[in-house]
Structure formats: structure tokens, C-alpha cells
Structure 1
């Protein structure tokens, strides 16, 4: 089993460039200092927040709720959703041993530090993610369920879309930095409700204050547990690009809300903002019988039965996926060693003419107390200035349906001879050639012109007596062009990777 992981880099003694805020480098000690001492130094991650009344479905507070953000370790809520599903269906139990691979063991902190070849029970894994936010354990969960972390990330994305999280895409099980790991505050409120509706028995693990593991006692990173009345979970997160994130559920006197804060300048300021949001909005929530149905999954879109020969991604960590073990190193690389774009994006025009809009996410003010809502003042207007963050999806009407687009019924065209270029894009490998061709047709229709000059083709391969049909696009002479097209496909809900032909 293999997992796609980041590789640790060496600390750099100085900032690369003053203008490149998102690639600023610090030592682990300085990162920890920021996480506990209030940020500073001009660090302004893009901010978003949302509060939803669970019983009525009413939005009580929203700032940049549909702008794309990086989830960081809040990713692990979806990882646990899929683990809970395996247990519920009887495919695993709380006592099932999960094997730790060499690659899982090498994941950057935060981690348990498990050795390759060792095992951890599913219940221990749950507690490790809830408290320590262990990246090695998150990777191991993905490997043990899907065979590889890459395949597991595809499962996570499909599940997100089935729940209605239409702007979410996962690239790994932990939340470690990846430019393709994106979500929104609105999508995360859906996940926060769904995991409670679907798994009330297992949701209680998010209330775990500490975890005794092999002679160690590990405390929960969520410092609002036991400190803010009504809070019963659920997950923190941090990377340099995301800022300090927090997903929260709170119940009091028959009222129930879920709240998301993304882009805090520090752990302390994020917690202060969330505390104010809870205190301001929980009393406003509906106390009667629940009028909204549980969050349930729609039928998942058909996806490849097998994804074959996915290349291992290499990337240098920009930061850890949790604030208590924050680390920063040099730069990030994508598949094929190409640099990942982690700088703020500007509005551009794709070959198909589609406009990509710049997001409206402003910085979290340095004074969280002044910014956060209070019972007396209600809640604040969105920030009017600060660092911009690009939403890398086409602009949409807020009223537009967020459910995944229906699968196209257009029949796949007959395949013509294709000249295979040095680089191709592979969407997946299907057990039926007709399915592979239909996938290619749909991808072209929904690509917004990105694949206008690309040539679809299928490639028959046999593995262990099983015949598969790769769904691929030719037409790329350079790695960068293929990777750009693949990123565009991912933004439209497809999984893919660029590879040499």
C-alpha cells in the first residue's frame, strides 16, 4: 500500500521575498509562537465564516461563505466520516487493526510517530485524529480503506459531492498542504451536520478531551471544549495557506448550531472569534422541533472502478496540518516536480473564455475581540480590506443549485485514431470501454473550453487478468499544459492526473 505524501524540507533562515506572503518561511518555534501569541508580522490569511441553525436550517451569520479556502486538518472530519461508514457497514470494527506503512510513518507532524509495520486499532485511530490530529494515522486510514491515499482522496471527494459539498475537492486524507485541497465555509457546515446526522453513535468521539496511548496522555487541540458553554466538538486545523481553522458544534437548551471559522491569524484569535459567534448565535437558534430533514447523500456520480498507475506526488511542506506542530520549509511542488501555485490569484481568462473571479476574503483583524460579534452588537459586516484570496471557480449566482451536475446522457463518439503526445491526462480506468468513453465526453462538455484542442482516447490494459480501459486526453507537449488542464478538470468535479505517455 502506498500513500501520496509530502516530503519535509529544510528550514530556510530568511524570508524569500516581502511580497510573497504565502511563501514566507519561519522556524517551527516561530510558527508555534504565532499560534499561541496572536500571529502578528503582517500575517493575514483569507477569512471566511458561517453559522447555521441545525433545527431550522437558517443561516445566522456568513462572511465569504462560498469563497474557496484550504480546509487543513478539518479534512480529517471527512476521513473519519468514511471510517465510520466502514464500521457501520460491518466492513471494519472498532477493534480492527490498521497497518502503518512506511510512507504513512513518514508523514510530517502532527503525528503519533508510529513505526512501519506496526498497527493501531480503528478506535485508537479515531481518537488520534480527534485529539492529536495525527497525519500518519490519517494516511493509514486512507490506505487501509482504499489501498492508497490517492484512491481514498477520490472517495472523499465523491462523498463530499454526494452530500452536496459541490465546491470541495480532496487531495489527501490529512489536510497537509496541497493546492488542490479546497472547500468553502458553506460546504463545511454541511459536513458538520452530516456527520452528526449519519453517525450519532460515533460523533461522541469528537468530545474526547484526552487520549491515553501507550504510556502517553494526548490532549485535544480544540481548546473550546469544556471552556465555552454548549460546545461539544468538533475539529481544529492549520496550515500557512489556510490560517487557523475551526469547525464547531454547540447545543444548549434544545438549541443547536454548527459554526465554521477559516483563516484565523492565530489559534487564540480564531478561538476568540468562534467563542463570540457561539455566544451570539446559539441563543438565537430555534428551540422547537427540528423542521429540516437530516443531511443525507444523493446517489454518487459514477467514477472509475480503478485508477491505475497514479504517479506519486512530491511536495515540500509549507506548514503542518495542525497548529501545535506547525512547521514551514521551502516551497511546494506538484506532480512531476512542478511548483504549486500558492500565491494570491488574479482574474484571468481561460482558452474557452471563462472568467475566474478573485475572491472577497479579507484578513482577520488583529484584534479579534473588536471584530467578533457579541450579543449586544450582533455580528459584523465582512472586512472591507486586507489580503485577497482567489476563488478558483467560475462565478456563480448565489441562488444556483449546489448539487452535483447530472451525468450527461450524450453518447460517446466513435474513437478515431489519435496521435499520442508526450504528455496526456488520465481521468481513470474503467472495466468497460463504453463507460470510459462516456467519461471523456462528459469531461470535454464540462471543461469550459480547456480541452477544446485535446483528443480523447481509451487505452486497453490488463492487470492480473483484469482488463481495464484508461480514459485519457492527448494533446499536450509540455507537462505544465497537461497539469493546468488537469487542475481545470478537478475544479469541475473530476479526478485526474498528468503523466508521460
Structure 2
């Protein structure tokens, strides 16, 4: 009988260990650098050479479009404003929207030209309209990159046209993609549009994944001889949004295929779990010298975590509160910490705060609580 019980316990132990190790190693991509990010939590799931400074090619236009969206949101630029097309914008080589020098084109059309058609001409036209020149616009781009925390990026132009000293990283591009999605959701919808027609020319979005996977709704491709074929992509499955960055692949087909590998891995093995809601009560604690005897304790901010799929039931919460709480207590005052562990490993720690204020009691009530607290401490 003991042998049978021992064998049963061993099976349970092995099964439990196996359940905790279901996630295989991430795929190895045929790319210079890559990164996979949970857009809600900011958790990096996969990375390789993510901080290597590389030429971004037309991925540069993500920042160009971000600044245009920012200017529109602030009311400095209107969607229907007409932009004068300069000779410089008209003469730009590479991918084009095919605008003509001496004409006027609306901001909203130019923005689509940047995002969908990857138009170098449209990018320069918008840069000149907003900052007066492309060089001045590049200064704005660098300022915005610093604000977003893109610490390894430097822009010299609005298009990604090859230039020595024009670089970024996979990590910084993921930060920028996250900002585009979260800060300007209405403009982000443009990234999902499959085609755009201007001047009688219908051009398809260069992001192959939009045509291959209905869960994908952005973002941007890039290509030069030096940069190779690059793609920043994003999509949503089962409430989880992932952002993939792939830089330096060998072909248009390869950048899509390598991006698919990253995204499929993330969606298959991970999920975004809302562990806590803002204002959620987790405990009550005795208050000494207060008008009430207890205070509700919880979290003031929502918390989402990136965890292995179906790992929610294995999360353990540990509440640690201050031993003695004395009034007055203000709403939001930190009173302890909450630790969350998954399979014995801490995955988050957040402050626990008072969810309501507690005012001081009257003199005699405080005096009586002081005596009781003294006795409590004496025999603790």
C-alpha cells in the first residue's frame, strides 16, 4: 500500500512540475533583431538583439504619423487642412503617394499616404507643413522619442531615407507602437486599412499580415538595402494585444513569416490576465483612535499581468499590512503591500492603500483606545 501511495504522490509531483513547464523555448527567427511585447502590461515575452541600433527604413514613418496625430489631437492641425506640396516633397524617390508639386493635399489624405502607401513624398510634405522643414521636423521627432522613453533612437529625417546616424532599436519601436495604439486609437485604425487610392492610383498596404490573419490590425513595414525587410505588427486574440518587431529579414515574405512565428508563439502560450481592479477591496484592518474601528484596504490602480495561459488559478496573493494603524488615515494612504506569486515565483508587488478616510475620534475615545493598544502591545 505504501508503495502505491508513494507512486501516486510521485505522479502528482511530476504532473505539477510538468504543468509549470508547458511553455517551450521561443522560436529563433531569421532576423537581425526582434521583440515580442504584451501591449497592455508592457511585458517582453521574446527578445533578440533588441537594443542593437539599426537603420529603421520606413519604420521611421511611425514617428512621423505619431507626431501628426499629436498635432491634430491638440488642434494645431486639422484633418481637412490643405498642405502645399513643395518641389522637394514631389521629387522624393522610393515609395510614393504620387502627389504633385504646386498642388494642395489634405492632411487626412497625406496621413493615409504615409501609413498605407509609405509615401516618402507625403512624409516630407507633412513634415514641412508642421515644422517648416524636414530638418526641423526631425528635431521634433527626437524630442518626442525622448518623451516616450526611446533612449536608443535618433532621427535625421521623416522618411527613413538612408542617412548615417539615423537609427533605432527593436525595443524603441515596440515602445512607439504601443504609444500609437494607446494614445491615438482613432488614427491607429488607419493602419488596418488595406488600400488607399489617390490621384487615380490604388496602392495596397505593404503589411502582408493584414491579408493573412484577421486578428492583425497594424502597423508598418520598412525596407532599404542596409536595413533589410522590417515589420512592426500588432493584433488581438482573446483580449490580448501583442506587438511584434522584426528587423533585418531577407524578403517581404520572410518578414511576414517571421512576424507570424513570434505572434503565434505569444498568443498560443500566454494571456493577459486582469489580476486586480481599481478600487478593489482586499482586506480590512483595525484602526486605533478613529471614528470607525476598521478601514477598508485595497488597490487604487488596476493591475494586469502577462501569465501562461490557464495560469490564473495558480496565482497566490499575500497581503502584508502594517501591524498598528492609528487615525487619522487619509484615502489613498499606503498601509501595506500585496505580493502575487505564480508557481512560487513573485510576478508582481503593489501597494495596498486605504480606500476611505478615517478621522480621529474624540478625546476620550482616543484615550480609551490608547489604553487598549498599550495592553494589546503588552501581551502581544
TM-score normalised to structure 1 length = 0.48
Any unmatched runs of 5+ in structure 1?
Answer: 1-44, 294-501
Task: After TM superposition, give the deviation of residue 291 of structure 1 in Å.
Answer: 7.8
Once the two structures are superposed, residues 147-190 of structure 1 have per-residue CA deviations (whole angstroms, 9 ceiling, x without a partner) of: 00000001001100110001000000001101111000000000
1:136 corresponds to 2:117 = no
Q: Check conservation: 2:116, 2:190, Cα contact below 8 A.
A: no
Distance 2:57 2:191 in 1: 17
Q: Check conservation: 1:248, 1:260, Cα contact below 8 A.
A: yes
| Corresponding residue number in structure 2 for 1:236 | 221
Distance 2:270 2:240 in 1: 6
Runs of 4+, deviation exceeding 6 Å: 290-293
1:227 corresponds to 2:224 = no
| Corresponding residue number in structure 2 for 1:182 | 167
The SS at the match of 1:251 is strand
Distance 1:291 1:103 in 2: 53
1:154 corresponds to 2:115 = no
Matching residue within 260, 266, 269 for 1:284? 269
Q: Check conservation: 1:56, 1:291, Cα contact below 8 A.
A: no
Higher relative contact order (CA closer than 8 Å, sequence separation 6+): 1
Distance 2:260 2:49 in 1: 19
Once the two structures are superposed, residues 218-267 of structure 1 have per-residue CA deviations (whole angstroms, 9 ceiling, x without a partner) of: 11111110312421100000011111000011101101111100001111
1:110 corresponds to 2:98 = no
Matching residue within 169, 190, 199 for 1:205? 190
| Corresponding residue number in structure 2 for 1:66 | 51
1:75 corresponds to 2:45 = no
> Bigger CA drift: 213-222 or 269-278?
213-222
TM-score normalised to structure 2 length = 0.63
Distance 1:190 1:115 in 2: 34
Taking the TM superposition and a 5 Å limit, the aligned residue runs for 1:343-358 are none
What's the C-alpha RMSD, in Å, of the aligned pairs?
Answer: 1.9
1:49 corresponds to 2:34 = yes
Structure 1 residues 93, 51: closer, same or farther in 2, change over 3 A? same
Q: Check conservation: 2:209, 2:256, Cα contact below 8 A.
A: yes
Taking the TM superposition and a 5 Å limit, the aligned residue runs for 1:417-456 are none
| Corresponding residue number in structure 1 for 2:352 | none
Higher fraction of helix? 2
The SS at the match of 1:225 is helix
Distance 2:276 2:233 in 1: 21
The SS at the match of 1:248 is strand
Distance 1:214 1:265 in 2: 32
Higher fraction of strand? 2
The SS at the match of 1:226 is helix
| Corresponding residue number in structure 2 for 1:195 | 180
> Bigger CA drift: 219-228 or 69-78?
219-228
Task: After TM superposition, give the deviation of residue 278 of structure 1 in Å.
Answer: 1.0
Q: Check conservation: 1:55, 1:289, Cα contact below 8 A.
A: no
Bigger radius of gyration among the two: 2
Task: After TM superposition, give the deviation of residue 74 of structure 1 in Å.
Answer: 0.6
Structure 1 residues 227, 150: closer, same or farther in 2, change over 3 A? same
Matching residue within 68, 86, 97 for 2:71? 86
| Corresponding residue number in structure 1 for 2:242 | 257
Distance 2:277 2:162 in 1: 35
Aligned residues: 249
Task: After TM superposition, give the deviation of residue 288 of structure 1 in Å.
Answer: 2.6
